[in-house]
Amino acid sequence: MTKVAIIGAGPCGLSALRSFEQAEKNGEKIPEIVCFDKQEDWGGLWNYSWRTGSDQYGDPVPNSMYRYLWSNGPKECLEFADYSFDEHFGKPIPSFPPRAVLYDYILGRVKKGNIKSKIKFNTSVTNVSYVNSNFEVTYRDKKNDKISKDIFDYVIVSTGHFSVPFIPEYPGMKSFPGRIMHSHDFRDAEEFRGKNVVVLGSSYSAEDVALQCHKYGAKSVTIGYRHNPMGFKWPKGMKEVFHLDRLEGNKAIFKDGHVQEADAVILCTGYLHHFPFISEDLKLKTGNRLYPPMLYKGVVWQNNHKLMYLGMQDQFHTFNMFDCQAWFARDVIMGKIKVPNDSEIEKDINKWVSMEEKLENPEQMIDFQTEYTKELHDLSDYPKINFELIRKTFKEWEHHKVENIMTYRNKSFASPVTGSVGPIHHTPWEEAMDDSLKTFLNK
């Protein structure tokens, strides 16, 4: 009997579990599967936790979600082909739901079968090595502080890469009298009501954390970018300036000469691909990019085809791309897809990496990842979904953000699975202070 370890029960791990469940439903004999997750429940990053720093067992807290987080991309772009929003909620819902609504949707798909019985919760994998043509996986039962070891034929790494913060240091931080935190530890914008907030970064975290602070009453929000500004039309009370030089007392001094009084500095400086539990010869080493090297089809480890990584890309596409990757990985494991020889693999990886290196703007990046996902989709029996509509939706969404960063979440789009159009939400995002499932779904 083939034995498969899945590390992580967030969206990627759940995609993997679902892919095997579907094969079993079709009458195929599936391998024995054990999934490990260090949290006490499934959902990965989509679990909200009040905790920051360490959990009660001394493990770093992986959760990065905050209260009042709303989807920053159209839900239609992440819809599961085999489980539509319409099916889950029994009706079309608006295109930009809050966290609790997406969490409910993700779990709705996996609750029905016996998937949960395959997951060991409160269990952290401490070591993965390849010995005598098998994987040795060492793991710790956190509750009982008990170490165990098991042998597997295949390992799927689905631990995500948005849970270990990258935390730089700037001169003057030691003596800054206010609060300094990474967005990973940001939990509630209410904390910054009436305060002058400096946000460092120029990607999605910086954009959304800055908007949250503004929405919940920060006195001012100043965003410091290093390379390129986001360049949106920010509302009154928000601005973008160039590169923090240093902190002096409670003043943030920027390289363009701008000086800003600050009560808090929030580092939206990104995350590390961090796999301390994987032996060196198996470890993916990459920054956040659309095509990490060493992965055939973005999934299979080039130097050992029994090791798979899911969701390690920087992401426009998410849940349905993870599904396409998981279905592909499953078919490799079950022998339905044959991995080619080393030179073919090298050629294929190089082709994608060199295309990625030429990308210049978000539209080209959307095209690149859409083409990648479509290619994967064609290789397995993952159900039909309209990736051309998703491509078009992503581009419209980018334009809506440029038009007005405060109102892009009030737009609606059509489902690539059912075709139904999301209704306009009853409350514009700027005024929607309650992010509960009940309030959102209530007409």
Instruction: Annotate 361-396 with DSSP letters as a single string.
Output: SHHHHHHHHHHHHHHHHHHS-PPP--HHHHHHHHHH
Report the alpha-carbon distance of residue 313 to residue 208 in Å, rounded: 20
Give the Å distances, CA to CA, from 244 to 172, 190, 219.
Answer: 11, 25, 20
Residues above pLDDT 90, as percent of the chain: 99
Report the alpha-carbon distance of residue 244 to residue 93 in Å, rounded: 41
Please check the confidence at residue 10 and state whether its pLDDT lies above 80. yes
DSSP symbol at 321: H
pLDDT at 408: 97
Give the pLDDT confidence of 346-363 residue by residue, as tens digits. 999 999 999 999 999 999
Global confidence as pTM = 0.97
Interacting residues of 147 by C-beta distance below 8 A, sequence separation 6+: 126, 138, 139, 140, 141
Give the Å distances, CA to CA, from 419 to 35, 90, 369.
Answer: 34, 14, 22
Q: Read off the tokens for 28.
A: 């195929």
Give the pLDDT confidence of 116-130 residue by residue, as tens digits. 999 999 999 999 999
DSSP symbol at 422: P
pLDDT at 426: 94
Query: Where are the extended beta strands (E) located within 234-373?
Result: 238-242, 244-248, 251-254, 259-261, 264-267, 295-296, 300-301, 307-309
Report the alpha-carbon distance of residue 412 to residue 95 in Å, rounded: 5
Q: What are phi and psi of 67, to 5 degrees?
A: -65, 150
pLDDT at 112: 87
pLDDT at 1: 86
Q: Please state at what angle helix 319-333 crosses helix 362-379, rounded to 10 degrees.
A: 30
Give the pLDDT confidence of 268-295 residue by residue, as tens digits. 999 999 999 999 999 999 999 999 999 9
Give the Å distances, CA to CA, from 13 to 264, 277, 313.
Answer: 36, 17, 15
Q: How confident is the model over 195-222, as a mean pLDDT?
A: 97
Average pLDDT, the chain: 97
Q: What are phi and psi of 118, to 5 degrees?
A: -90, 0
Please check the confidence at residue 396 and state whether its pLDDT lies above 80. yes
Q: How confident is the model at residue 199 (pLDDT cuts 50, 70, 90)?
A: very high
Quickly count: other Cβ atoms within 10 Å of residue 438's Cβ.
9
Domains of the chain: 3-164+271-394 (3.50.50.60), 169-267 (3.50.50.60)
The alpha carbon dihedral of 429, 433, 436, 438 has a sign of negative
Give the pLDDT confidence of 21-37 residue by residue, as tens digits. 999 999 999 999 999 99
Q: How confident is the model at residue 113 (pLDDT cuts 50, 70, 90)?
A: confident
Q: Read off the tokens for 24.
A: 């079993």
Q: How confident is the model over 416-438, as a mean pLDDT?
A: 96
Give the pLDDT confidence of 311-348 residue by residue, as tens digits. 999 999 999 999 999 999 999 999 999 999 999 999 99
pLDDT at 105: 98
Q: Read off the tokens for 100.
A: 């609790």
